Structure 1
């Protein structure tokens, strides 16, 4: 994922330089400009693969105007979940647009994902579903937000990094034959590289979660490739199929070599 992200970052910076302040703010871009921007990003990620619009395979829910640009809630819904192999989430005008790629495993219930992201400018966000037969389908939402990638943490870097890698998981109600909802919380500042240390006035180096793997017993629920656009202290809501035995294991790693693992006892379906 990283080489693609760096290419996308270069496209963002060159676009901002060419179009001036209005381009950087994103608010005054025309639909033609937004489409051209998306076409560039899509080529950098997917090459020449065709991406079709859809109203049924994936839907993206996001606030029209973000209350906090550094913590924007995103819900991805896949009504025809059995057809979905993975999901790509792109924030077109972020410095590193390719925010997340979820690859589902056999223990996943693919109906819904929730996460929180940073949004830096007024922008389209794209959710691209990849189906089991290798086709791509996109849904789009326009979000008004500004400054999410450079927003300060509100605490010192040392405080933000305290307990880094700690994890919690909450489970929803379990019923026989039904998926179980879960919420994974990982303590990590996910520094974007654009945030200024309020004491030293230097920019804090980027340090962010790159990979998360979640398994149930010997089966994968999902693998996530992430980047700086995922909000600090990542929270991911997902669901899994409670078939078989074994704990839920989470392995996470960041771009500076940090690695953390944790196991959680999965609830058994109620009788």
Structure 2
């Protein structure tokens, strides 16, 4: 990566953190407003104007987003068991050469959950992660192909409170385990397609969670950047926000050369860097 690329990533990272901080501040103020009564979550969702038109304009300008296509598909539970850990699976048509994917949770305080950039030759055909969902919402996924065209798909998820849900571990344990990484590989039916999963220990605090003892808000602290290589060749990068769940997990299928070790590097909002090479990966 050149110094120019590094500078651009650092600038984008600072901008993203500033935007997320502003969104959290606005959300905290809004959360103090008197709650509506007598309406079910479904009725509230129906009465709320969709955030998508404004988000679409802000993120993609006046570009055309092609709908009803097999280029990208999204799968998530219609009603989430745990709003703080909602599984989302994205599947891509390998022939379409998807290069970038933006995952948007429309009604979250910071809607852009993550942006993934796929390396040339990585042949990523599937990617799964876990997200927080704060209110009944559409979840959009927008894929950009090598020719610059944009393809969109969506699904509706019934969940609420995921961004403010307490962490599953106490702060001391979370701090002690922070940055630990694990990689797993899985067998597939296609010898030309490989599957693996990267798991990272990190609280990924959203800034909306409260300390269960002091009842004060826990400052946002989450992974902003992730780089994953295989045998020295890049597979994908991620720019993430508060909507990625605690202990981020990324399971993916790829068609690139499977020789050499995996290497992962993650950076968080406090400029902590976690890096590991995986010479022996368990299946």
Structure-2 separation of matches of 1:162 and 1:251: 18
What SS does the corresponding residue of 1:160 show, helix, strand or coil?
helix
Contact 1:156-1:197 within 8 A present in 2 as well: no
1:73 is aligned to 2:95: no
Alpha carbons of structure 1 residues 218 and 163: separation in structure 2 relative to 1, 3 Å: same
TM-score (norm 1): 0.87
Structure-1 separation of matches of 2:158 and 2:132: 12
Other-structure match for 1:116: 130
Structure-2 separation of matches of 1:157 and 1:60: 33
Other-structure match for 1:222: 236
Contact 1:116-1:235 within 8 A present in 2 as well: yes
Quote how far apart the aligned CAs of 1:9 are: 3.0
Matches within 5 A, 1:124-139: 124-139=138-153
Other-structure match for 2:44: 28
Matches within 5 A, 1:73-112: 73-112=87-126
1:206 is aligned to 2:213: no
Structure 1: stretches of 5+ with no match in the other structure: none
Other-structure match for 1:168: 182
Structure-2 separation of matches of 1:4 and 1:210: 9
Contact 2:184-2:198 within 8 A present in 1 as well: yes
Please give the per-residue CA displacement for 1:11-54, whole angstroms capped at 9, x wherever unaligned: 9859x69x98569x6752448822xx101111222222221213
Structure-2 separation of matches of 1:246 and 1:49: 39
Contact 1:107-1:219 within 8 A present in 2 as well: no
Alpha carbons of structure 1 residues 260 and 211: separation in structure 2 relative to 1, 3 Å: same
Structure-2 separation of matches of 1:26 and 1:160: 35
Contact 1:26-1:121 within 8 A present in 2 as well: no
* Count of paired positions: 263
Matches within 5 A, 1:133-148: 133-148=147-162
Structure-2 separation of matches of 1:9 and 1:33: 18
Quote how far apart the aligned CAs of 1:230 are: 0.3
What SS does the corresponding residue of 1:102 show, helix, strand or coil?
strand
Contact 1:195-1:204 within 8 A present in 2 as well: yes
What SS does the corresponding residue of 1:73 show, helix, strand or coil?
strand
Instruction: Name segments (4+ residues, structure 1) moved above 6 Å.
Output: none
Contact 2:99-2:120 within 8 A present in 1 as well: no
Structure-2 separation of matches of 1:199 and 1:216: 43
Q: RMSD of the TM alignment (CA)?
A: 2.9
Alpha carbons of structure 1 residues 167 and 155: separation in structure 2 relative to 1, 3 Å: closer
